[in-house]
């Protein structure tokens, strides 16, 4: 199946692993790319040195195209983006910030830039910055989806541009892929599905928890990290979204996270001071969220941890390998296409 995105990036299947923090690690990224999709490495929790090592690890595991995700307003993101550019990564995925300088530098070596957007205004801004494609994130998505569902947001953005669109939010199988194509997208991002794969670093007990959850068992709130965010409905998820996160609480949690994760406090302070008052608060919020995320993902601690998850958790029914997931999606998509074709010819 060839689309604008597969042709642009030279990949086999219109399937993408988004750059989910602590989930999109080299092994999972390489597995998705090797299976014919596009894996995007998460750089949000990495130092520049760790980012470079991770990029080289992906290249050791596969010779297929891959990407690096950079949420530009987060601490250290610009430095990781510079590393990705220096390593001439084929695809740079930017979000949460102005990325014109990334686009210019990537285009200089033939790289492509895909911007993640969750509103029509974000899409217009990204298109004006000269990106090569968009990840359009609907309300159903894990983490920071927008207020508009994929069913409406994708065609709304398609009306703006002929560039490739990757649909994110609510997609986990071949039915979703065909629906996304009908809405005007050129591929789907399946974060929740790949987070529950064999190659995912997510704790086995957390994967089993995903299998047990229905689609409606999520919480969408801005109280976790100040941005509207979708998390799994668990004791930890309810606790962390019960009330608005204030700066003093964020700073306290951020310092606790730095100690527990063995992150030097001097590095945290340097990031904060370098971004001014508003930037310092953002650094604190990011630090406050990271420990809770790690506890859920790596320790299956859902009393003190928070698992970012999409509504498509209700469509995940087993723990399968990435290769098997991709194969199933493509076969189911073909089956749906055949069924729709039969409808057209039915008397």
DSSP for 280-326, written as a single string: HHHHHHHHHHHHHHHHHHHH--TTT---B--GGGGG--S---HHHHH
pLDDT mean over 288-299: 88
For residue 247, give every residue at least 6 positions away whose Cβ sits within 8 Å of its Cβ, in sequence order, or none: 281, 284
Pairing of strands 15-17, 187-189: parallel
Its pTM stands at 0.91
pLDDT mean over 140-150: 95
Contacts 24+ apart (CB under 8 A), 236-241: 236/292, 236/295, 236/296, 236/301, 236/302, 236/303, 236/304, 236/305, 236/306, 236/307, 237/302, 237/306, 237/307, 240/292, 240/306
CA proximity to 209, closest of 112, 314, 105? 314
**Stronger pLDDT, 264 or 147, i.e. the higher one:** 147
Q: Does domain 4-203+316-345 have CATH number 3.20.20.70?
A: yes
Q: How confident is the model at residue 277 (pLDDT cuts 50, 70, 90)?
A: very low
pLDDT mean over 76-91: 95
Do residues 24 and 30 touch, judged by C-beta distance below 8 A? no
Pick from 1-5, 43-47, 145-149: least confident: 43-47
Angle between helices 120-128 and 150-158 (to 10 degrees): 30
pLDDT at residue number 124: 97
The domain locations on the chain are 4-203+316-345, 214-299
| CA dist., res. 73 & res. 282, Å (int) | 8
């Amino acid at each position: 199946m060839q689309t604008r995105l597969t042709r642009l990036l030279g990949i086999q299947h219109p399937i993408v692993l988004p750059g989910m923090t602590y989930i999109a690690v080299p092994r999972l990224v390489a597995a998705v790319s090797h299976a014919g999709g596009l894996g995007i490495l998460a750089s949000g929790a990495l130092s520049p040195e760790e980012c470079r090592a991770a990029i080289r690890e992906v290249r050791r595991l596969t010779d297929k195209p891959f990407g690096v995700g950079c949420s530009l307003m987060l601490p250290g993101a610009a430095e990781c983006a510079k590393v990705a550019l220096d390593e001439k990564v084929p695809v740079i995925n930017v979000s949460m910030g102005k990325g014109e300088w990334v686009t210019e530098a990537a285009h200089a070596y033939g790289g492509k830039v895909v911007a993640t957007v969750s509103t029509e205004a974000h899409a217009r801004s990204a298109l004006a910055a000269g990106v090569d494609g968009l990840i359009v994130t609907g309300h159903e998505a894990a983490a920071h989806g927008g207020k508009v569902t994929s069913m409406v947001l994708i065609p709304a953005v398609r009306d703006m541009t002929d560039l490739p669109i990757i649909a994110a939010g609510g997609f986990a199988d071949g039915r979703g892929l065909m629906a996304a194509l009908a809405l005007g997208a050129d591929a789907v991002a399946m974060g929740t599905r790949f987070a529950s794969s064999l190659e995912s670093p997510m704790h086995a007990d957390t994967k089993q928890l995903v299998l047990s959850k229905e689609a409606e068992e999520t919480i969408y709130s801005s109280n976790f990290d100040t941005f509207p965010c979708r998390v799994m409905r668990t004791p930890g998820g309810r606790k962390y979204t019960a009330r608005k996160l204030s700066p003093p609480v964020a700073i306290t949690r951020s310092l606790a996270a730095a100690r527990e994760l063995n992150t030097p406090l001097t590095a945290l302070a340097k990031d904060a001071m370098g971004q001014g008052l508003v930037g310092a608060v953002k650094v604190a919020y990011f630090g406050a969220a990271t420990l809770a995320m790690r506890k859920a993902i790596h320790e299956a601690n859902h009393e003190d941890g928070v698992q970012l998850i999409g509504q498509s958790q209700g469509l995940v029914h087993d723990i399968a390998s990435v290769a098997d997931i991709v194969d199933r999606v493509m076969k189911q998509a073909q089956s749906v296409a055949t069924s729709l074709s039969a409808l057209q010819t039915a008397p």
